[in-house]
């Protein structure tokens, strides 16, 4: 009997998700937060989507620590939701907790091993930790899954930070990127000397 009521209970606590989404994409955050709070009251705090969007808004408002806590709450409701995990990782990254972010991204990869965004963001974390070999590996894997200019730029930067300017040039050339837009003047000078 309890299982027969489960779909009805879930539908009840998610009945305003459409409105939350509409207000969020319109960037009507004040109104969106009002609907979210109402939805959370009605669902006893168990509406995953309302928590998720509230976390996105809080992070956009600069309240990154609060956003992290909300993404953690959403993950408690739905532990296998890779989007919650990716956003937790992003908040940890923004808080400068790069090792913690990598751990969360590792968990997300168990669910979605071929997600370009996870590999790219792990590469960013490794760059901040100055583990350039790991960042190169992550950016390379991200580009194998789905090529993005931003990943090529970060991959080239990781090579340049290791003073491997030839590899950086090769990456930028493969991507069809102009050195003027990819790196700073000092790196451009070093790469130009390699090219001569």
Domains and CATH numbers, the chain: 10-111 (1.25.40.10), 114-196 (1.25.40.10)
The structure tokens listed for 194 are: 């390699």
The chain-wide mean pLDDT, for the chain, equals 89
> What per-residue confidence (pLDDT) applies to 127?
97
pTM of the model as a whole: 0.85
> What per-residue confidence (pLDDT) applies to 191?
47
Contact criterion met (CB below 8 Å) for 194 and 166: yes
Contact criterion met (CB below 8 Å) for 136 and 159: yes
Length of the chain: 196
Q: Which residues contact 29 (CB under 8 A, 6 or more apart)?
A: 23, 57, 60, 61
43-98 per-position pLDDT tens digit? 999 999 999 999 999 999 999 999 999 999 999 999 999 999 999 999 999 999 99
CA distance linking residue 80 with residue 89, whole number of Å: 14
The structure tokens listed for 94 are: 């923004």
- Residue stretches of the chain with pLDDT short of 50: 1-2, 6-9, 185, 188-192, 194, 196
Neighbours of 184 (CB within 10 A): 10
Sole residue written with tokens 């090579």: 159
CA distance linking residue 39 with residue 28, whole number of Å: 16
> What per-residue confidence (pLDDT) applies to 139?
98
CA distance linking residue 164 with residue 136, whole number of Å: 12
Q: At what angle do helices 149-161 and 132-145 cross, to 10 degrees?
A: 160
Neighbours of 175 (CB within 10 A): 19
> What is the 8-class DSSP label of residue 146?
S
Residue (of 170, 140, 173) closest to 155 by Cα position: 140
> What is the 8-class DSSP label of residue 163?
T
Provide the 3-class DSSP secondary structure of residue 177.
coil
- Alpha helices, DSSP H, located in the chain: 2-13, 17-25, 29-42, 48-60, 64-77, 82-94, 98-111, 116-128, 132-145, 149-161, 165-175, 179-182, 185-195
> What per-residue confidence (pLDDT) applies to 183?
56
> What per-residue confidence (pLDDT) applies to 66?
98
């Amino acid at each position: 009997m309890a299982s027969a009521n489960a779909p009805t209970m879930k539908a009840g606590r998610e009945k305003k998700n459409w409105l939350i989404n509409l207000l969020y994409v319109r960037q009507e955050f004040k109104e969106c937060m009002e609907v979210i709070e109402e939805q959370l009251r009605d669902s006893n705090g168990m509406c995953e989507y309302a928590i998720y969007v509230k976390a996105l808004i809080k992070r956009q408002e600069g309240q990154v620590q609060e956003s992290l806590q909300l993404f953690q709450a959403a993950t408690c409701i739905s532990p296998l939701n890779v989007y919650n995990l990716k956003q937790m990782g992003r908040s940890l990254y923004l808080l400068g907790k790069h090792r913690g972010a990598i751990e969360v991204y590792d968990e997300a990869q168990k669910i979605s091993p071929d997600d370009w965004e996870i590999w790219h963001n792990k590469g960013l974390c490794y760059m901040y930790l100055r583990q350039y070999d790991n960042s190169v590996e992550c950016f390379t894997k991200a580009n194998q899954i789905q090529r993005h200019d931003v990943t090529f730029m970060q991959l080239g930067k990781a090579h340049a930070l290791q003073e491997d300017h030839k590899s950086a040039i090769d990456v930028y050339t493969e991507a069809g990127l102009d050195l003027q837009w990819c790196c700073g003047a000092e790196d451009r000078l070093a790469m130009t000397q390699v090219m001569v």
